[in-house]
Amino acid sequence: MKISKLNINPPIDEKALFSLINQCDTSVFFSKEWIKVLYNENFEIIGIKNLNDELIGAFYLQKYKRKKIFTQISPPPLCPYNWLILNCDSETNFNKVTFYKKVFKELVSYLESIKCDIYKINFPTSFQDLSPFVKNGFETKLKFTYVIDLNLSEEEILKNMSSERRRNINKGLKSDLKVETNGNKKDLLDLIYKTIDRENLDLDKAFVKKVIFDFATEDNTFFQVAYQEGKPCAATFFVFDQNRSYYLLGGYDASFQNEFAGPMCMWNGILKAKSLDIEVFDFEGSMQPKIEKYFRGFGGSIEMIPMIYKSQTLSKFVKT
């Protein structure tokens, strides 16, 4: 088994990569369209090949510069994970676990060869045994997201919400607020930009614009924009695949004093995902207390996201 960077621009390894993806994964975050938007000089897709030089796995990462001196490896912007897919043809649990441990052992060696200062890597929820990383000095941590089972009825989903969130939605339904699905992208982008500026969010505006105008189609995204007296006041943006819908971006105009425009956009997004026969709505998590509390109010269940962490920043200061 060997691990190395794949060449997708120029597309030397593209055919093998997307053949693997079609076999193993239907996630919107491993689609050709999404990878095209993500691609930049600091984005890498790592290929995992067997002894016959056949591609059996892939993993992607983004390199960041922190405080101008530290390098960090984390998920790419707006991605919940460093997406990992593996084509394991073993039939027994023993052989599967052995295969995964071998892959992770090789992945540890590859990551350490990059010589990065900070590693913050999220794995899909199906990968729980991260012991090969622990044995090599990584810490394991848990992040989490809230998810809603869209097989539930609208009444059951509402019942699971906090009283505050139900009140927000009821007020919105009784108000003159108008919420449009897949309407004006310029209004959507303006509201997101206002929120990025106001909250000083670590989001690149040019990348956000690429996602909304270059990536988004009705086959992979939808969005909601709320209007009060004809003016845009709040918006939410979602991506989806056949199994799951993700809340990706949102924004609001702080000059409008109402408490229900944002929740109404989110609620309409949940209903839109349900109408598409998607099974799970994912808030894509947040460790920020204010945002976590807001998401929690929608009554989803907690889903844990395994993460590995390692920092070598202190040793860099000592060496210098």
Which two tokens mark 214?
């270059």
* CATH code of residue 35: 3.40.630.30
Q: 201 and 84, same structural domain? A: no
Q: What is the mean pLDDT of residues 226-254?
A: 96
Same domain, 105 and 40: yes
Q: What is the pTM of this model?
A: 0.92
Same domain, yes or no, for 155 and 29? no
Q: Is residue 309 part of a domain?
A: no
Name every residue whose Cβ is closer than 8 Å to that of residue 241 and which is 6 or more positions away in sequence. 26, 27, 28, 31, 220
pLDDT for 23-46, tens place per residue? Answer: 887 799 999 899 999 988 899 999
Mean pLDDT of 243-252: 97
Question: Do 38 and 157 fall into the same domain?
Answer: no
Question: Is 315 among the domain residues?
Answer: no
Top-confidence residue, 278 or 125: 278
Domain's final residue, options 94, 116, 137: 137
| Domain's final residue, options 113, 137, 161 | 137
Boundary residue ending a domain (137, 167, 202): 137
Give me the mean pLDDT over the 217-244 stretch: 96
Is residue 11 included in any domain, yes or no?
yes
Does the pLDDT of residue 317 top 80, yes or no? no
Residue pLDDT, tens place only, 161-211: 999 999 999 999 999 999 999 999 999 999 999 999 999 998 999 999 999
Q: Indicate whether 95 belongs to any domain.
A: yes
| Residue 250 lies inside a defined structural domain of this protein | yes
User: What is residue 288's three-state secondary structure?
Assistant: coil
pLDDT of 315 reads 53
Mean pLDDT across the chain: 92
Q: Are residues 40 and 132 in the same domain?
A: yes
The 8 Å CB, 24+ separation contacts for 153-156 are: 154/271, 154/274
pLDDT at 100 over 70: yes
| CA proximity to 121, closest of 103, 113, 129, 133 | 133
With tokens 């395994």, the residue in question is 306
Q: Is residue 80 part of a domain?
A: yes
What is the domain extent for residue 298? 146-304
Instruction: Return all residues near 246 (Cβ < 8 A) that are at least 6 apart.
Output: 28, 80, 238, 239, 240, 282, 283, 284
Residues 131 and 163 in one domain: no
> Would you say residue 278 has pLDDT above 60?
yes
- Whether residue 268 sits in one domain with residue 157: yes
| Domain count for the chain | 2
Same-domain check for residues 81 and 22 = yes
Most confident option among 3-12, 107-116, 172-181: 172-181
Asked if residue 101 is part of any domain, the answer here is yes
Residue 114 sits in the same domain as residue 183: no
Q: How confident is the model at residue 316 (pLDDT cuts 50, 70, 90)?
A: low
Same-domain status, 191 and 280: yes
Q: Is residue 215 part of a domain?
A: yes
Q: With H, G, I as helix, E, B as strand and everything else as coil, classify residue 119.
A: strand
Tell me: do 173 and 231 sit in the same domain: yes
Kindly state whether residues 19 and 76 are assigned to the same domain: yes
Rounded (5°) CA angle 263-251-237: 75
What would the pLDDT profile of 256-265 be if each residue is shown by its tens digit? 988 999 999 9
Q: Are 21 and 85 in contact (CB under 8 A)?
A: yes
Give the pLDDT score at 7: 84
| Crossing angle between the packed helical segments 163-174 and 261-275, to the nearest 10 degrees | 90
